Amino acid sequence: MEVSVLNLKGAETGRKVTLNDAIYAIEPNDHAIYLDVKLYLANQRQGTAKSKERSEISGSTRKLGRQKGGGGARHGDINSPVMIGGGRVFGPKPRDYSFKLNKKVRQLARKSALSYKVKEDAIIVVENIAMDAPKTKAFVEILNNLKLAGKKALFVLPGADKVVYLSARNIERISTMPANALNTYKVVDADVLVLTEGAIDVIDGNLTK
């Protein structure tokens, strides 16, 4: 599959790149996408929620009233879960929400997400972005040239580029990412995927191992 390469002014350069059909033209697997997105979101959770149980409450352990004859329910000490200020029964404890997902399933999920973007005509290939200094105004001009204003766009770069990152980070709905960190969630979440020429080679290398 051949795609035209645009320059940063939004015009065609006359060059074309070939997108690997084994990555960008497969039959998407929705369940693999679901599992990989679930894994990504699970890894974002801190898992630090904690509530105190009965044994952890600071309070007297004296029995509040006699067992029988009081005309009401039986009560233990003031730390009982049925009392206001008492411990919580089966409350949350710190835990790790991550789970194992096979490498081939994660690769299939990324290929499926990229294939969906191709079907939606939501992939743009541009020449490599080179900026001398961080400048948001210059990056906004690139967005306008590519007609991406107001869209949620993900720019995939060949590698980490601090200058491009700093230029784009204050622009709403725009994000940048090195190709070797590309994940299913980010691809699915974006309206438009902007791939630089160098990023395509990196993605091919990662997903065809």
* Phi, psi for 156 (deg, rounded to 5): -105, 120
User: Do residues 72 and 114 both lie within one domain?
Assistant: no
User: Do residues 112 and 25 both lie within one domain?
Assistant: yes
| Domain boundaries, position 149 | 2-46+100-207
Least confident segment among 19-33, 71-85, 92-106: 71-85
The amino acid at 10: G
CA distance 59 to 85: 10
User: Do residues 131 and 186 both lie within one domain?
Assistant: yes
CA distance 114 to 175: 17
User: Do residues 145 and 113 both lie within one domain?
Assistant: yes
pLDDT at 22 over 90: yes
pTM for this structure? Answer: 0.85
**Domains held by the chain: number:** 2
pLDDT of residue 208: 86
List % helix, strand, coil for the chain (3-state, nearest 5). Answer: 35, 15, 50
Q: Rg of the chain's alpha carbons, rounded to an integer?
A: 27
User: Do residues 83 and 114 both lie within one domain?
Assistant: no
Q: pLDDT band for 30, please (50, 70, 90 cuts).
A: very high
CATH of the domain at 8: 3.40.1370.10
